[in-house]
Structure 1
Amino acid sequence: MNKGYVHVYTGNGKGKTTAAFGLALRAVCAGKKVFVGQFVKGMKYSETKVEKYISSIEIKQFGLDCFIYKEPTQEDIDMAKKGLGICRKKLQEDYDVVILDEINIALYFKLVSIDEVLELINSRKKNIELILTGRYAPKEIIEAADLVTEMKEIKHYYNIGVEARKGIES
């Protein structure tokens, strides 16, 4: 690829991370190399096992064992800052696709700043396709993107008590 584009997958509906991993699968099946940095997530979701099966995908998590529900801790902030530094380096390496999963949530909780993420977007190698996921994408990130998709919840079985199912939501 001569030019990589910036994608944002945001909104309150299910499917942002799933869409990003679908793109990752498509990319590796086309012979491309993918890095996924998962912000705010430390739980071992099913997709984190992909490295055992596909050597062209690398995943690093920059979160604790539980998602942030209240005020973030200093440890949450430190992990996100460390993750941003790692992602900055990956965006200068020989990856074709880099996914910053839940980076918009990290922004929402002020674990990282909009300026830091914009700098990361603008300083990447220009052939790298960059995907940013998570609810609450700020307008500055949306404006910096080339493609923005909003996942809108219309109906969700979670609302009738169905919990996350392994292989589908976790």
Structure 2
Amino acid sequence: MDKGQIQIYTGNGKGKTTAALGLSLRAVCAGKKVYFGQFIKGMEYSELKAANYLPNFEIHQFGRNCFIFNDPAKEDILAAGKGLKTVGDVLKNKSYDIVVLDELNVAIYYKLFSTEEVIRILEERAENIEVIITGRYAPQELIDMADLVTEMKEIKHYYRKGIQARKGIES
């Protein structure tokens, strides 16, 4: 790739992380290297095993063993800040073709770091790296900077019937 683009998958519908994982699979199968950084998430998700099956796929979590529903704890802020520094370094070092910043928008929403900090690391990235950003609440500044923005819209979801996350489908 000559010039990497910035893609955002946002909105209240299901499928943002799933779309990023699908793109990652396609990229790895095309011989590309993928770095998948998950913000806020620290729980056990099935995709954490992907590196065992996919060459050139690396995944790291920058969250605790819970999800933020109210005010973030100091530990949430520290974990996210460490993650942002890590992905900033990854974006500069040209070792990967694709870098996914999963739930980055939610981390910004909860003020774990600022939109300005994210824009800075995106502007400093190696030119050839494709960046995928996921999560609800994409800030307008990132939408304006992006080359592609897809909004997932919930029409109907079985969660509303009380069906919880299922292993291999949502977790």
CA distance in 2, matches of 1:51, 1:44: 14
Deviation of 1:121 (Å): 1.1
1:116-144 deviations in Å (ceiling 9; x for gaps): 00001111101000000000001001001
State the match for 1:100 in structure 2. 101
CA distance in 1, matches of 2:44, 2:54: 17
Moved more, 130-139 or 49-58: 49-58
1:99-131 deviations in Å (ceiling 9; x for gaps): 000000000000010110000111110100000
CA distance in 2, matches of 1:15, 1:154: 12
Answering whether residue 31 of structure 2 is matched by residue 28 of structure 1, we say no
Deviation of 1:54 (Å): 1.1
CA distance in 2, matches of 1:14, 1:39: 17
* Aligned residue type for 2:111: K
Q: In structure 1, list runs of 5 or more residues that go unmatched.
A: none
State the match for 2:153 in structure 1. 152
* Aligned residue type for 1:122: E
1:1-40 maps to which residues of 2 (within 5 A)?
1-40=1-40
Answering whether residue 86 of structure 2 is matched by residue 72 of structure 1, we say no
CA distance in 2, matches of 1:131, 1:120: 13
1:55-94 deviations in Å (ceiling 9; x for gaps): 3111110001010011100100000000000001111122
State the match for 1:85 in structure 2. 85
CA distance in 1, matches of 2:27, 2:56: 9
CA distance in 1, matches of 2:44, 2:120: 29
CA distance in 2, matches of 1:55, 1:28: 7
Taking structure 1 as the reference length, what is the TM-score of the superposition?
0.99
Q: Is the 8 A contact 2:35 2:59 kept in 1?
A: yes
Q: Is the 8 A contact 2:28 2:55 kept in 1?
A: no
Percent identity, please. Answer: 61
* Aligned residue type for 2:70: K
Q: Is the 8 A contact 2:35 2:100 kept in 1?
A: yes
* Aligned residue type for 1:65: N
State the match for 2:45 in structure 1. 45
State the match for 1:137 in structure 2. 138
CA distance in 1, matches of 2:136, 2:59: 20
